[in-house]
Amino acid sequence: MPSRKIEGTVVSDKMQKTVVISTVRYVKDTTTSKKVKKTKKYKVHDEEMICHVGDVIEAQECRPLSRDKHFILTRIVQRGKTGIAADKARNDAAGSLETEVTGS
């Protein structure tokens, strides 16, 4: 049986090696017959800590890694604005450290 894949938006990246994603699905209400938006949050294992708030990611189900964490990150579908800014800041910081170490 293949493990299921989910896609969602990162809403929190404050934990180490873990991000929280929110998935959205639409369900038909039984009494009013209107579509209702349902959201659910999942904790996803992010080994390299590359995801940031606003990113759209895909995760795959795996064995339980902790009490709440049952998914691992497979790929980043789309970077959010905060994710791009964080990557740029990280690269700038790494560049400034290299110049300090080399002395040029």
Q: Is residue 67 predicted with pLDDT exceeding 80? A: yes
- Distance between start and end Cα atoms, the chain: 56
Please state, in angstroms and rounded to a whole number, the distance separating the CA atoms of residues 45 and 74. Answer: 10
- The total of structural domains in the chain comes to 1
Q: Residue 59 maps to which CATH number?
A: 2.40.50.140
Work out the burial of residue 55: count CB atoms within 10 Å of its CB; fewer than 13 is exposed, 13-18 middle, 19 or more buried.
buried
Q: Structural domain of residue 15, as residue ranges?
A: 5-102
Sign, CA dihedral 84-13-90-73, equals negative
Work out the burial of residue 18: count CB atoms within 10 Å of its CB; fewer than 13 is exposed, 13-18 middle, 19 or more buried.
buried
Single pTM value for the model: 0.76
pLDDT digits (tens, 9 = 90+) for 11-65: 999 999 999 999 999 999 999 999 999 999 999 999 999 999 999 999 999 999 9
